[in-house]
Amino acid sequence: MRAAVLQLNAQGMSSTKLYNYIRIAHNKGVKVLLLGEYVLNPFFKELESLSASMIKEQEKHQSKVLKELSQTYNMTIVAPLIIVRKGEIFKVVAKFAPSSTSYYEQQLLINYSHWNEEKFFTNTQKSLKSPLVFKVDGFKFAIMSGFEIHFDEIFAKLTGKNIDCLLLPSVSTFESYQRWKTLILSRAFTHNCYILRANRIGEYMDKEFKWKFYGDSLLASPNGELLEHLGNKEELMIVDMSHSEVLDARRAWGFKGRFFNP
């Protein structure tokens, strides 16, 4: 399976780079393309000052563009979006396939005092459910928002799904570079699946300090190894993944399906 990460800063209403990079990815045989969080919308701290009508206008434009690109290039595009439904604002990850569009509503949102998405967005779940799972050419993917990778409970919902690759869009910043890399490699190893992470680049200037989004989009192997990664610049990363490597890792380590009594 050939997939790609498009590492960008916030694009606003502009679609030029999306068209150019997706055309390149198509010519390289890419079947699935992943974008980071807050690439198609302004960063969260900027969203707080925007009206719901303005956010909805952005959503309509970006959705139209990505649907057209998916159909034109026969490619599945996975992209975080901020959507508006009946005046309420939701944070989702959209899957634009050539013949359909699906949405995964983020279930666990960051809720720190300086960055409180849980308070701002309407996302509500009475109980956790499985992340969105889908297949492309027999290769099975799951979609999870970046913050959710911290929680064992949501990984438990993937038990029995036998995914080959977890798609992880993120918006990591501050001094979290090494911590995120360690976490992703660990999850890939303990669950014996690829993790393809897309992290945005760019910056947001707060009143007190600058938030830098450092990129480092990467591919982790089912054995917990770092296979590919990007720096902190605008780039397209194309990767190849193998279902047989996933099966080999599961057989070698034997984590799946084991239960221990105290």
Which tens digits make up the pLDDT trace of 158-184? 989 999 999 999 999 998 999 999 999
DSSP letter at 12 equals: T
pLDDT of residue 51: 94
Residues 35-48 have pLDDT tens digits of 999 999 999 999 99
- pLDDT tier at 260, thresholds 50, 70, 90: very low
Q: What is the mean pLDDT of the chain?
A: 95
Cα–Cα distance for residue pair 64/171, rounded to 1 Å: 23
Cα–Cα distance for residue pair 133/169, rounded to 1 Å: 15
pLDDT of residue 113: 92
Closest C-alpha to 80, from 56, 113, 105, 100 = 105
Residues 45-77 have pLDDT tens digits of 999 999 999 999 999 999 999 999 999 999 999
What mean pLDDT is predicted for residues 115-123?
96
pLDDT of residue 261: 43
pLDDT of residue 13: 85
pLDDT value at 142 more than 80: yes
pLDDT of residue 27: 98
DSSP letter at 20 equals: H
Q: Which residue do the tokens 């198509």 mark?
A: 26
Count of CA atoms in the C-beta half-sphere (13 A) of 158: 29
* DSSP class per residue in the chain: -EEEEEE----TT--HHHHHHHHHHHHTT--EEEE-TTSSS--HHHHTTS-HHHHHHHHHHHHHHHHHHHHHHT-EEEEEEEEEETTEEEEEEEEEETTEEEEEE-SS--EETTEEHHHHS----SS--PPEEEEETTEEEEE--GGGGG-HHHHHTTTT---SEEEEEE--BTT-HHHHHHHHHHHHHHHTSEEEEEE-EEEEE-SS-EEEEE---EEE-TTS-EEEE--SS-EEEEEE--HHHHHHHHHHH--TT-----
CB atoms within 10 A of CB 243: 15
pLDDT value at 262 more than 60: no
State the pTM of this model: 0.96
Cα–Cα distance for residue pair 230/52, rounded to 1 Å: 34
Identify whether the C-beta of residue 154 lies closer than 8 Å to the C-beta of residue 166. Answer: no
- pLDDT tier at 259, thresholds 50, 70, 90: low
What mean pLDDT is predicted for residues 122-149?
95
- pLDDT tier at 257, thresholds 50, 70, 90: low
Name 5's Cβ contacts closer than 8 Å, sequence gap at least 6: 33, 34, 35, 36, 196, 197, 198, 217, 219, 230, 236, 237, 239
Which three-class secondary structure state does DSSP give residue 105?
strand
Helices marked H in 151-195 — which ranges? Answer: 152-156, 177-191
Better-scored residue on pLDDT, 255 or 76:
76
What mean pLDDT is predicted for residues 105-125?
94
